[in-house]
Amino acid sequence: KISKRILVIGGDGIGPEVTRWGKRVLETVAEKYGHAFVFDEGLMGHAAIEATGNPLPDDTLEKAKRSDAILFGAIGHPKYDQDPHLKVRPEQGLLRIRKELGLYANLRPIKLFDELLAASSIKPEVLKGADILFFRELTGDVYFGEKKKADDGSWASDLMIYHAYEVERIARKAFEAARLRRKKLCSVDKANVLESSRLWRAVVQQVAADYPDVQCTHMFVDNAAMQLIRDPLQFDVILTANLFGDILTDEASQIAGSMGMLASASVGDGTGLYEPIHGSAPDIAGKGLANPLASILSAALMLQIGFQMQEEADAVLRAVEQVLKKGYRTVDIADKHTENSMIVGTDGMGQQVIQQLANS
């Protein structure tokens, strides 16, 4: 019987509605396998600004540090997107928790469930068998470099900066993972233009020397954005910087059929944070339409990576697979060409997975 403290942060938009189901899955796993998962709740993002004025209240940060893992939903609100001049912004909460907890490695597995082959905008024959693991650096780059702007609004800047140690630690994690997979690592940068990318490439080349069994290649980010769609099967592990990783993993969601299917694990030296890669989707928030599978799969990543509970994680994956096989689909993964598909909402999908998992 294993005990774990889990902090649940729903966040903004569809965050709370989907995270509810990630949590229910963890509860079901705890019951089924006799673990003791203790849950706490925290505020972050727009929700936290409304309640406290702070996108990451001290209370949330303290709870986060005391937890074994964090299940997070999504962040962002249209109010701030329409007004570029607002100083306090929801995203600051997420960026700060990543930095404070040292979550420098963001793992984003992109894998298509066979049942969803038809749901993608990409041709099935191009996709079939695609299985990519992204390592996105998460606490450096232009996200955290110094920000400046002229008082008169005539210019603004962000510093894109990397330290060698930041590149090295995530590169090692990525090479270790590649070793356990198909032993191919592609590092993505823009070394033909950027000084920080040339540092990135030089450090990755050095680390690669310690992993002669892993085939290491380098690709420019523009080319990578193209190759991901042209031929996703060529990739195994992709290692890249914070900004490039943000863009490429969202793009790669189309390989998995929908953004609503993609989970991520942010890990570093301590407590890990598990979250869908989708955003707060304000346009569908509160309508019960959002796909909870990304949150459920984030819970599975927590079990696997955070708690080393491989069997439990597999049980969740199998439950999701079964539910898809039975034909249940949220609108984002619905496909007019599949017969017998049943369109369900957030709760309908969540309940199906819980049932399947409980009875497995």
Ligand X SMILES: CC(C)[C@H](C(=O)O)[C@@H](O)C(=O)O
Active site residue ranges? 143, 190, 222, 246, 250
Do the bridges between strand 272-276 and strand 69-74 make them parallel or antiparallel, or are there none, so unpaired? Answer: parallel
Interface residue with a second copy among 80, 104, 175, 307 (CB under 8 A) is: 80
CA–centroid distance for 215 within its chain: 25
Measured CA to CA, the distance from residue 259 to residue 71 in angstroms comes to 18
User: Which partner in ligand X, a second copy, none is near 305 (CB below 5 to 8 A by kind)?
Assistant: none
Name residue, tokens 């599975």: 300
Inter-CA distances, 268 with 5, 12, 102, Å: 18, 24, 5
Interface residue with ligand X among 31, 59, 222, 283 (CB under 6 A) is: 222
**195 lies in the site for ligand X, by CB under 6 A:** no
Task: Output DSSP code: residue 256.
Answer: G
**140 lies in the site for ligand X, by CB under 6 A:** no
Contact 235, 132 (CB under 8 A): yes
**260 lies in the site for ligand X, by CB under 6 A:** no
CA–centroid distance for 326 within its chain: 26
Side chain identity at residue 176, one-letter code: E
**Judged by CB under 8 A, which stretch of 86-94, 179-187, 288-296, 298-306 contacts a second copy?**
86-94
**192 lies in the site for ligand X, by CB under 6 A:** yes
**256 lies in the site for a second copy, by CB under 8 A:** no
* Annotated binding residue 40: no
Inter-CA distances, 17 with 12, 20, 23, 253, 327, Å: 10, 6, 11, 21, 22
**75 lies in the site for ligand X, by CB under 6 A:** yes
Burial degree of 294 (CB within 10 A; 0-12, 13-18, 19+): buried
* Annotated binding residue 34: no
Considering the complex, what minimum distance in angstroms separates the CB of residue 240 from a second copy? Answer: 11
Residue with smaller CB distance to a second copy, 34 or 212: 212
Tokens coding 357: 């998992």
Measured CA to CA, the distance from residue 147 to residue 193 in angstroms comes to 21
Measured CA to CA, the distance from residue 133 to residue 110 in angstroms comes to 6
**325 lies in the site for a second copy, by CB under 8 A:** no
* Annotated binding residue 246: yes
**308 lies in the site for a second copy, by CB under 8 A:** no
* Annotated binding residue 98: yes
Considering the complex, what minimum distance in angstroms separates the CB of residue 81 from ligand X? Answer: 11
Tokens coding 13: 């938009």
**317 lies in the site for a second copy, by CB under 8 A:** no
Contact 76, 40 (CB under 8 A): no
**CA nearest 126: which of 234, 284, 243?**
234
Burial degree of 49 (CB within 10 A; 0-12, 13-18, 19+): buried
Considering the complex, what minimum distance in angstroms separates the CB of residue 158 from ligand X? Answer: 13
* Annotated binding residue 280: yes
User: Which partner in a second copy, ligand X, none is near 334 (CB below 5 to 8 A by kind)?
Assistant: none
Annotated binding-site ranges: 98, 108, 136, 222, 246, 250, 279-291
Q: Which residues are annotated as a binding site for Mg(2+)?
A: 222, 246, 250
Binding site residues, ligand X, CB under 6 A? 75-76, 91, 94, 192-193, 222, 246, 277
Q: Return binding residues for substrate.
A: 98, 108, 136, 222
By CB under 8 A, name the binding residues for a second copy: 76, 80-81, 84-85, 89-91, 95, 121-123, 126, 142-143, 145, 147-149, 153-165, 190-199, 201-202, 205, 218, 220-223, 225-226, 228-231, 243-244, 246-251, 253-254, 259, 279
